[in-house]
Amino acid sequence: MKKELFALALLAAILALSLWNTHEIEGICGELTELVESSGKAAESGDWETSRERVEEALRVWKSREGYTHTVLRHTDIETLSDDFFELLEHISTQDPGAVQSAVRLVTEHLREITEMESLKLGSIF
């Protein structure tokens, strides 16, 4: 019976880890989305310095979680998102409002996709 109890505990632990992972990814993506959106707003009002600082802050947060994200996310997705941040920074440095807004949309869309991939919904299960 000990073996079975251990197996049950293992199943419960995997489920708990999965739920925690979903919560953690939602937290990271939520924080990044907020920073990127505020960068977009700053760019809209012509505050390019704040816009750049927000994206740099987002990139710092993203890079600081690399160890974790590399364990749970597809590596190609991580690279795509990192490239998105650098591209956004590039557009901010050229101060092109249209390109910045579309880059902001792309980053937030990718962040939303990652969150949805990790969330436990009927659609993602079946």
Binding site for another protein (CB under 8 A): 1, 3-4, 6-8, 10-11, 14-15, 17-19, 21-22, 70-77, 80-81, 83-84, 87, 91, 99, 102-103, 106, 110, 112-114, 116-121, 123-125
Residues in the chain: 126
What is the C-alpha to C-alpha distance for residues 16 and 81, in angstroms, rounded to an integer?
A: 27
38 vs 118, beta carbon nearer another protein: 118
19 vs 61, beta carbon nearer another protein: 19
Q: How far is the CB of 3 from another protein (least distance, A)?
A: 6
Q: How far is the CB of 10 from another protein (least distance, A)?
A: 4
Is residue 121 left, alpha or beta, with left meaning phi > 0 and alpha meaning psi from -120 to 50? Answer: beta
Residue 68: partners with Cβ closer than 8 Å, 6 or more residues away: 24
What is the C-alpha to C-alpha distance for residues 45 and 61, in angstroms, rounded to an integer?
A: 24
